[in-house]
């Protein structure tokens, strides 16, 4: 079965187009309410990031859920991982996050979480889509749901974040810059680090509804780099609009991506004796990070790109740590989904335990240059790995002589195939990526 609305991470698009309209959200709320209420009375938590459109969609979803007989608890602006946590503590049947994550303000989307604070299984998404095809019928007025607002949601999540590191561990003496991307962590992240004793310099913490992710946050760390150097801070933390991604900057202004952050946490878990086996990355995880993990006798498992796939492989393999270079870090021994604040605290714990700077903690990693070129499918439909394309890849791999790798990955959101070459020599990597992309483009036209 194929899904009409749900993608790899919920439903997402430009506000006012396609499914991202008030009318659709009303029907979506009703459909979800009917599915979740099949076992009787149900309670649904709704949270959002700071996009102006989030208020419109919150009201529409609330109306649809109540019309289906579901009770609604509104928690306002809250990081996606915070919503996943609150679903569990509030004993809700499910949760809805109104967010387009790292996208600009003119996009928005919907993500669902189960009662366990995890992404919904495919069968539930299918059930919601099937219900969307039915006419909206309001339950009897005596069975309508109720809506209420949770006023202490931020305090609850702040305390949860603080509890993710040992109780006697403090950040006093540390000066850090925190970039909240004008998003859902603006009233959470600075307070977590301040209450643990750090001196915090806030940037990207003045949301106005349309500045979310604009020239700031995990996807654009330049502002964080500049602020760390300006204030001579020990390090910096950049989150994205919904708080599930983390990028860090050391005292020299050098960026640490999700791969490097995952390595630091893995090494600390190993030193403490509870890593619990392999670490899960993706097809894009840097080969240099894999080699650094291997030197610690830590095996790296690779999933398809996307935190949903990382979590799935973690569940299958029993791994407690996984992540992506983009900054999604999942510490399954702490929480159920990618959490930028929780991941940052695990890195800070590593710094304190080893009495080392962030720059020192990454010194064992020698990242390989990667070059990725997008090739348009030009209306050719789905990407098919033909024998000719396989031969072209094998030729490039032979030129790498075992000191690199090649990856062809169809985009999940655009009619593109991403051609990636990775190796020790940057000039060679770039020339081989260009050569392969041209070959793939020619073969796709035939």
Q: Examine residue 282 and state whether it is found in any structural domain, yes or no.
A: yes
The per-residue DSSP string of 37-59 comes to GGGSS-EEEEEE-S-THHHHHHH
| pLDDT given at position 215 | 97
Asked if residue 132 and residue 167 are part of one domain, the reply reads: no
- Using the Cα atoms of residue 355, residue 343, residue 167 and residue 296 in order, give the sign of their dihedral: negative
Query: For residue range 233-261, what is the model confidence (pLDDT) as tens digits?
Result: 999 999 999 999 999 999 999 999 999 99
Could you tell me which residues are beta bridge partners of residue 76?
Answer: 47
Q: Does 272 reside within a domain?
A: yes
Distant-in-sequence, close-in-space partners of 387: CB < 8 Å, separation ≥ 6:
none
Looking at the fold, whether 319 and 392 belong to one and the same domain comes out as: no
User: Residue 371: its pLDDT value, please?
Assistant: 95
Q: What is the rounded distance in angstroms from the CA atom of residue 266 to the CA atom of residue 144?
A: 48
Do residues 340 and 429 share a domain?
no
Q: Are residues 318 and 214 in the same domain?
A: yes
- In whole angstroms, give the CA distance from residue 419 to residue 409: 7
140 and 184 belong to one structural domain:
no
CB 419 within 8 A of CB 396: no
Helix axes 22-36, 122-132, angle to 10 degrees: 120
Pair of tokens at residue 346: 């695990």
Is residue 81 located within the same domain as residue 104? yes
β-bridge pairing 329-331 and 321-323? antiparallel
Residue 254 CB-density burial (10 A; 0-12 exposed, 13-18 middle, 19+ buried): middle
How are beta strands 147-149 and 107-114 bridged, if at all? unpaired
Q: Which of 361, 385, 413 is the endpoint of a domain? A: 361
First to last CA, the chain: 30
Any idea which residues carry the catalytic annotation?
A: 101
Cβ partners under 8 Å of residue 406, min gap 6? 393, 396, 397, 400, 420, 421, 422, 432, 436
When the pLDDT of each residue in the chain is averaged and rounded to a whole number, the result is 94
* 167 within domain boundaries: yes
Does residue 438 sit in helix, strand or coil? helix
Q: What distance in Å separates the CA atoms of residue 101 and residue 214, rounded to the nearest whole number?
A: 12
**Which CATH number do you get for residue 382?**
3.30.310.50
Contact yes or no for 92/250 (Cβ under 8 A): no
Residue 352 belongs to domain with CATH number: 3.40.120.10
- pLDDT score recorded for residue 445: 79
Residues 144 and 188 in one domain: no
Domain boundary among 338, 361, 384: 361
Rounded Cα distance between 177 and 179, Å, is 7
| Same domain as 255, residue 331 | yes
How long a stretch of residues is the chain? 446
Do the domain assignments include residue 2? no
Contacts of residue 283, defined as CB under 8 A and 6 or more positions apart, other chains included, come to: 302, 303, 304, 305, 407, 409
The answer to whether residue 413 is domain-embedded is yes
Q: Give the model's pLDDT for residue 381.
A: 65
Edge-first strand listing for the sheet containing 279-282? 300-303, 279-282, 321-323, 329-331
Q: Range of 410's domain?
A: 370-444
Condensed to tens digits (0 to 9), the pLDDT of residues 13-30 reads 999 999 999 999 999 999
Domain boundary among 118, 151, 184: 151
Structural domain includes residue 3: no
Looking at residue 148, its pLDDT comes to 97
**Tokens describing residue 370:** 């990667």
Token output for 212: 């979310």
Shared-domain flag, residues 355 and 395:
no
**Alpha-carbon distance 311 to 331, whole Å?**
10
Q: Is the pLDDT of residue 319 over 70?
A: yes
Do 138 and 24 have their domain in common?
Answer: yes
Query: CA-CA distance, 61 to 249, in Å (whole number)?
Result: 38
By percentage, how much of the chain surpasses pLDDT 70? 98
Instruction: Identify whether 190 is part of a domain.
Output: yes
Judged against a pLDDT cut of 80, whether residue 183 lies above it is answered with yes
Displacement of CA 2 from its chain's centroid (Å): 23
**267 and 312 part of one domain:** yes
Instruction: Tell me what pLDDT residue 41 has.
Output: 77
pLDDT per residue as tens digits for the range 375-425: 988 765 678 888 999 999 999 999 999 889 999 988 766 788 999 999 999
Which pLDDT does position 50 carry in this prediction?
98
Cα separation of 325 and 344, whole Å? 14
Portion of the chain with pLDDT greater than 90, in percent:
88
Distances (CA, A) of 170 to 163, 167, 179, 207: 12, 8, 21, 29
Domain count, the chain: 3
* Angle formed by the axes of helices 340-354 and 80-89, nearest 10°: 100
Q: How confident is the model over 150-164, as a mean pLDDT?
A: 97
Residue 6 lies in a domain: no
**For position 379, what pLDDT does the model report?**
63
Residues 169 and 135 in one domain: no
Phi, psi dihedral angles at 176 (to 5 degrees): -135, 150
Token digits of residue 415: 């009619």
Checking if the pLDDT of 156 tops 90, the result is yes
């Amino acid at each position: 079965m194929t899904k009409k609305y749900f993608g790899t991470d919920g439903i997402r698009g430009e506000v006012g187009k396609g499914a991202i309209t008030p009318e659709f959200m009303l029907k979506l709320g009703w459909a979800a309410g009917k599915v979740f209420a099949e076992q009787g009375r149900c309670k649904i938590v709704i949270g959002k990031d700071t996009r102006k459109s989030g208020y419109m969609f919150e009201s529409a979803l609330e109306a649809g859920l109540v019309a289906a007989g579901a009770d609604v608890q509104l928690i306002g602006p809250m990081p996606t991982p915070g919503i996943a946590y609150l679903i569990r503590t509030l004993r809700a049947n499910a949760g809805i996050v109104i967010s387009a994550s790292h996208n600009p303000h003119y996009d928005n989307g919907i993500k669902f979480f189960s009662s366990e604070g995890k992404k919904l299984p495919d069968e539930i998404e299918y059930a919601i889509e099937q219900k969307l095809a039915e006419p909206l019928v309001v339950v009897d007025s005596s069975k309508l749901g109720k809506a209420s607002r949770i006023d202490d949601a931020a305090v609850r999540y702040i305390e949860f974040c603080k509890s993710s590191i040992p109780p006697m561990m403090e950040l006093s003496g540390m000066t850090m810059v925190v970039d909240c991307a004008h998003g859902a962590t603006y009233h959470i992240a600075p307070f977590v680090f301040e209450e643990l004793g750090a001196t915090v310099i806030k940037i990207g913490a003045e949301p106005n509804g349309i500045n979310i992710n604009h020239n700031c946050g995990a996807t654009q760390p330049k502002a964080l780099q500049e602020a760390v150097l300006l204030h001579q801070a020990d390090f910096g933390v950049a989150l994205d609009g919904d708080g599930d991604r983390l990028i860090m900057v050391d005292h020299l202004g050098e960026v640490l991506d999700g791969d490097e952050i995952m390595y630091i946490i893995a090494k600390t878990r190993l030193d403490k004796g509870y890593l619990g086996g392999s670490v899960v990355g993706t097809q894009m995880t840097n080969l240099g990070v894999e080699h650094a993990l291997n030197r610690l006798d830590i095996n790296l498992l690779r999933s398809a790109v996307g935190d949903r796939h990382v979590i799935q492989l973690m569940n299958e393999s029993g791994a407690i740590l996984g992540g992506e270079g983009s900054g999604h870090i999942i510490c399954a021994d702490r929480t159920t989904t990618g959490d930028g604040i929780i991941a940052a605290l695990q890195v800070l714990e590593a710094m304190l335990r080893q009495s080392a700077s962030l720059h020192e903690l990454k010194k064992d990693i020698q990242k390989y240059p990667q070059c990725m070129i997008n090739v348009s499918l030009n209306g050719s439909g789905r990407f098919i790995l033909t024998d000719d394309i396989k031969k072209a890849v094998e030729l490039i791999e032979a030129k790498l002589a075992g000191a690199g790798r090649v990856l062809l990955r169809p985009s999940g959101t655009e009619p593109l195939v991403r051609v990636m070459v990775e190796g020790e020599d940057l000039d060679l990597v770039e020339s081989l990526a260009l050569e392969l992309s041209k070959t793939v483009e020619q073969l796709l036209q035939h």
